[in-house]
Amino acid sequence: MEQRLSLVSLGVADVAAATAFYERLGWQRSQANSNEHITFFQLGGIILGLYGGQALADDIGIDYSDRLGFNGVTLAFNARSKDEVDAVLAEAKAAGANIVKAAEDVFWGGYSGYFADPDGHHWEVAWNPFFPISDDGAITLPE
């Protein structure tokens, strides 16, 4: 298996409402590939898909009611500065997110906070001085 991540699918309660939240963040959905059942966003070299939670659970073959609570997965947006972390968290809150943890200096030398989207998916917004970010937003592990 190649070492890469291609697509992240989020099971959501309402595809249209979840799509509207991410569009309020300024994200552009793929018009050619999205429909009332799934929305796709191109995120640099990966794709984010918003898919009906029940339909996603059915596809996996699991009980959708087991989704409640923290499932041990977070998504991350790495910022280029502490100020950008604060700005992104404010933008997420204005779009309808719940700020789970305000940004603060963290033990590993960076600065981060967390928000949850309307379906409870947790996003970390972090400035990490040790992970360079290219002009196109790609993040690279140092050698």
Last residue of a domain, one of 65, 85, 110: 65
- The answer to whether residues 40 and 78 belong to one domain is no
Predicted local confidence at residue 89, as pLDDT: 98
Q: What is the pTM of this model?
A: 0.87
Burial category of 40 from C-beta neighbours within 10 Å (exposed 0-12, middle 13-18, buried 19 and up): buried
Tens digit of pLDDT at every position of the chain (143 positions): 878 888 999 999 999 999 999 999 999 999 988 899 999 999 988 999 999 988 888 887 878 776 666 777 899 999 999 999 999 999 999 999 999 999 999 999 999 999 999 998 999 999 999 998 988 888 888 87
Residues 55-65 as b/e (b if ≥16 CB within 10 A, e otherwise) read ebbeeeeeebe
Rounded Cα distance, 143 and 141, in Å: 7
Predicted local confidence at residue 68, as pLDDT: 61
- The answer to whether residues 58 and 90 belong to one domain is no
Predicted local confidence at residue 45, as pLDDT: 84
- The answer to whether residues 96 and 136 belong to one domain is yes
Predicted local confidence at residue 118, as pLDDT: 93
- The answer to whether residues 77 and 143 belong to one domain is yes
Q: Count of domains in the chain?
A: 2
What's the domain range around 90?
73-143
- The answer to whether residues 18 and 77 belong to one domain is no
State the DSSP string of 1-54. --S---EEEEEES-HHHHHHHHHHTT--B-TTT--SSEEEEEETTEEEEEEEHH
